[in-house]
Amino acid sequence: MSISRLARSIAPSPTFALNEQARMMRERGEPVINMGIGEPKNKTPISAILSSASKLSGGDIKYTPPDGTPSLKKAIIQYTEENYDRVIAPENVIVSSGAKQSIFNILYSILNPQDEVLILAPHWVSYPEMVKMCYGIPVILTPEDGSFVPRMQEIEAAVTSYTKAMIVNSPNNPSGAVFPKELIAEIVDFCERKKIYLIMDDIYHKLVFDGKRAAPAYEFTTKTVEDTMVIVVNGVAKLYGMTGFRIGWVVANRNLVEVMTNVQSQITSCTSALLQAAAEGALVGMQSVVENLRLTFQNNRDIIMQELKTFNGIKAARPDGTFYVLPDFRAYNNNSIELAKFLLDRALVVTVPGKEFGMEGHLRLSYAGTVKDITVAIERIKWALDPNSPNEIYIGDRKLVRDWL
Ligand code: PMP
């Protein structure tokens, strides 16, 4: 069987692979706690359910325009005005099957083979693979000081004549860092001057804690949406807990949106009419849904930080947003893949190895779950690793004794 070299070189999504492993273990009756997948646990917002149910009961579920239904686009235009203070036209918006497809579509539409895309580590696992799928070259930039926030000098030094785009994700998956507004301002100014596309992955933009705010890139450019290098990606997955609805969107200049629409029309034709109706319902419905999720994650962040504080040798930067934390476990193991496997086997806790995000020696823990899951998971990890913790633990109804430290 002959398979393309490129397709063969693409790594599977580690979060989905781990999620599947956890599901199978749970099916076997093992009390696994999943701190791996980034997924809010709330029920779908009622406005989204009603809107898609009404569409469904009308029985008229057909193709939509490839770039999205006019009414969802209208809701996105309003969202952009309210949250980004930018007045845009329907021609500046394209709806896709999740922010994931939105980002892929952008990359496919802007990259020529060998073009470079700057990715700031720690970074979402999919960016480098998507760049490769579009025959581009991912250039990963890791902050030299070991922090989770890049410095402008490092960014400038990584840019070459092949640099076509840069992806910025703040609040950041996997670190939870929110980049300072001064840095965003410098990045916007730099990209506008150098004519580098600045892809702002804003999928977590409202999940920010302690009264802080994720600075929108648009705030730092005087250029119109037609002239700016800023491209904004958003979606309903994280803010509304609607991961299964697969709706994301891009706001960009109309030439790029037109090209992306042509591309999308040849790949998926359009996103499902039902799911677009659901996303529209979420966007025009009660926005307290988002605030409730934000408050839940802020509370969970406080709890997980409290638990991690009592953990010998672990260093964890306090997240300002998202529902992830990326503690440094090098005191216990430098090899994060080995460590994640060990914790799954011994403590029945799913974590994601930092290596996947360009941060070896760290583990990403998602605190989108329940408070009980968070406290029990950290207690189990502590038991498995920290010799100062009690050497007996109950996992489910089994009493386990640690005999490896
Ligand atoms: N960007 C980032 C940083 C993410 O974490 C995710 C989801 N894990 C996405 C984009 C994709 O979101 P969606 O589910 O809308 O495809």
CATH 3.40.640.10 residue ranges for the chain:
46-284
Q: Are 355 and 334 in contact (CB under 8 A)?
A: no
What does the pLDDT read at residue 85?
Answer: 96
Which of 33-37, 131-135, 277-281 has the least mean pLDDT? 33-37
- Please report the atom of ligand 1 found closest to the CA of residue 97: 16
Q: Which two tokens stand for residue 58?
A: 């009308």
Q: Are 248 and 234 in contact (CB under 8 A)?
A: yes
Residue 5, exposed/middle/buried by CB under 10 A (0-12, 13-18, 19+)? exposed
How many Cβ atoms sit within 10 Å of the Cβ of residue 63? Answer: 10
Q: Express each pLDDT in 73-108 by its tens digit.
A: 999 999 999 999 999 999 999 999 999 999 999 999
CATH 3.90.1150.10 residue ranges for the chain:
5-43+288-401
Q: Which residues line ligand 1 (CB under 6 A)?
A: 38, 98-100, 124, 169, 173, 201, 203, 235, 237, 243, 248
Which of 35-39, 118-122, 236-240, 343-347 has the least mean pLDDT? 35-39
How do beta strands 93-96 and 248-251 pair?
antiparallel
Q: Express each pLDDT in 310-349 by its tens digit.
A: 888 999 999 999 999 999 999 999 999 999 999 999 999 9
How far apart are the CA of 86 and the centre of ligand 1, in A? 23
What does the pLDDT read at residue 204?
Answer: 98
Rg from Cα positions in the chain: 22
Q: Whose CA is nearest to atom 5 of ligand 1?
A: 173
- 270 in helix, strand or coil? coil
Q: Whose CA is nearest to atom 12 of ligand 1?
A: 99
Report the CATH fold assignment for 5-43+288-401.
Aspartate Aminotransferase, domain 1 (3.90.1150)
Q: Which two tokens stand for residue 151?
A: 């410095």
Q: Express each pLDDT in 173-213 by its tens digit.
A: 999 999 999 999 999 999 999 999 999 999 999 999 999 99
Q: Which two tokens stand for residue 153?
A: 């000098």
Q: Are 162 and 114 in contact (CB under 8 A)?
A: yes
Q: Express each pLDDT in 202-253 by its tens digit.
A: 999 999 999 999 999 999 999 999 999 999 999 999 999 999 999 999 999 9
Q: Is the pLDDT of residue 18 over 90?
A: no
What does the pLDDT read at residue 12?
Answer: 81
Report the CATH fold assignment for 46-284.
Aspartate Aminotransferase; domain 2 (3.40.640)
How far apart are the CA of 259 and the centre of ligand 1, in A? 22
What does the pLDDT read at residue 364?
Answer: 97
Q: Are 126 and 100 in contact (CB under 8 A)?
A: yes
What is the pTM (predicted TM-score) of this model?
Answer: 0.96
What does the pLDDT read at residue 188?
Answer: 98
